[in-house]
């Protein structure tokens, strides 16, 4: 938009048929300062909850009678969309305090989770500032955090794999150990878009070794898929042992048998010994 030194307000509605409209974001002042986008232009970023509507209507206004000069409207795509999280219950944790460190383990974790957010709830009366590390002995991943009483101890990470071997180490140095009330972990919501027919039963099996493998026709029609699709909830989730395909051992031929190979080696060795002995005997005859 063209630069405008004035208060800016935005309201958003959503619809699936351009007839019935629903509120998505009430009229709110856009307090985030505009970013420089070019000469005499600024980039105005507006965040709003995803309602899965097919159409959106954005109303921009200011505290002046003159309208705002909008040049272009578009979407910003990020590799990670923070905010759409689901909490993962790691169960109880065991805190072990030593002279200089606090070690925290999670004995109830049975599976590996891909997490993107960690929240520490610490109940300490005096102020504190500690260094902490979230580490995993299987994947050897490490994330470093600074725990402080003057801020919310909420940290974001890029796809950390939280496994039964994950632990937390807090460096106490010469300070008393912290009282950790809870540790919450969150993962980003991920969706799979598939075609299902009504009245049929389906079983969804995910291979954790390569969950995104496979090529499907629906990938080429992603731009034509409606936004207001039904979302199914996963229930009765079970783990199944995936048996590895065992390739039958190929029967060895005669020349590959150990007995045959050792026979060849012995025969060749005996022949070489015979040649050497005969040459030595001929040399002795010539000398005599």
Average pLDDT over residues 169-183: 91
- Predicted pLDDT at 215: 78
Q: Is the pTM of this model over 0.75?
A: no
- Predicted pLDDT at 118: 92
Average pLDDT over residues 50-76: 84
Chain segment 225-271, per-residue pLDDT in tens = 776 677 787 777 777 665 555 555 666 676 777 787 888 889 899 98
- Predicted pLDDT at 218: 81
Q: Which of 168, 186, 185 is CA-nearest to residue 177?
A: 168
- Predicted pLDDT at 46: 80
Percent with pLDDT over 90 in the chain: 20
- Predicted pLDDT at 81: 44
- Predicted pLDDT at 209: 54
Chain segment 106-161, per-residue pLDDT in tens = 999 988 888 988 999 998 878 899 999 999 887 778 889 999 988 889 888 877 88
Q: How far apart are CA 285 and CA 288, in angstroms?
A: 5
The DSSP-derived string for the chain is -B---S-EEEEEEEESSSSS-EEEEEEEE--SPPEEEETTEEEPP--------SEEEEEEEESSSSPP----------SS-TT-EEEE-----EEEE-SSEEEEE-TT--S-EEEEEEEEEE--SS--EEEEEEEETTT--EEEEEEETTS--EEEEEEEEE-TTEEEEEE-TTSPPP-EEEEEEEEE---------TT--------TTSTT----GGGGGGGGS-S----PPP-S------PPPPPPPPPP-GGGSHHHHHHHHHHHHHHHHHHHHHHHHHHHHHH-
Is the predicted pLDDT of residue 79 greater than 50, yes or no? no
The answer to whether 171 and 130 are in contact (CB under 8 A) is yes
Q: Which of 221, 270, 211 is CA-nearest to residue 242?
A: 211
Average pLDDT over residues 53-63: 88
Chain segment 16-40, per-residue pLDDT in tens = 899 999 888 888 877 554 455 556 8
Is the predicted pLDDT of residue 80 greater than 70, yes or no? no
Mean of the per-residue pLDDT values of the chain: 81
């Amino acid at each position: 938009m063209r630069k405008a030194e004035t208060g800016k307000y935005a309201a958003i509605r959503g619809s699936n048929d351009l007839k019935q409209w629903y509120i998505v974001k009430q009229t709110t002042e856009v307090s985030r300062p505009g970013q420089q986008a070019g000469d005499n232009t600024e980039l105005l970023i507006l965040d709003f909850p995803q309602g899965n509507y097919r159409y959106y209507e954005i109303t921009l206004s200011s505290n002046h009678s003159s309208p705002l000069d909008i040049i272009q409207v578009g979407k910003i795509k990020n590799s990670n969309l923070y905010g759409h999280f689901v909490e993962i219950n790691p169960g109880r944790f065991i805190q072990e305090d030593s002279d200089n460190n606090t070690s925290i383990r999670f004995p109830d974790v049975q599976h590996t989770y891909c997490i993107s957010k960690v929240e520490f709830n610490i109940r300490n009366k005096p102020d504190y500032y500690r260094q902490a590390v979230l580490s995993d002995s299987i994947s050897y991943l490490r994330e470093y955090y600074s725990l402080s009483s003057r801020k919310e101890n909420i940290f974001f990470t890029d796809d950390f794999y939280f496994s039964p071997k994950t632990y937390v180490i807090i460096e106490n140095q010469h300070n008393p150990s912290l009282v950790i009330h809870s540790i919450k972990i969150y993962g980003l919501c991920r969706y799979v878009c598939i075609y299902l027919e009504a009245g049929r039963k389906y079983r969804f099996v995910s291979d954790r070794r390569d969950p995104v493998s496979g090529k499907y026709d629906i990938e080429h029609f992603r731009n034509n898929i409606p936004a207001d699709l039904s979302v199914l909830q996963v229930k009765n989730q079970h783990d199944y042992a995936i048996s590895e395909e065992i390739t039958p051992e190929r029967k060895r031929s005669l020349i590959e048998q150990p007995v045959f190979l050792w026979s060849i080696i012995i025969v060749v060795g005996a022949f070489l010994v015979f040649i050497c002995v005969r040459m030595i005997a001929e040399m002795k005859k010539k000398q005599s």
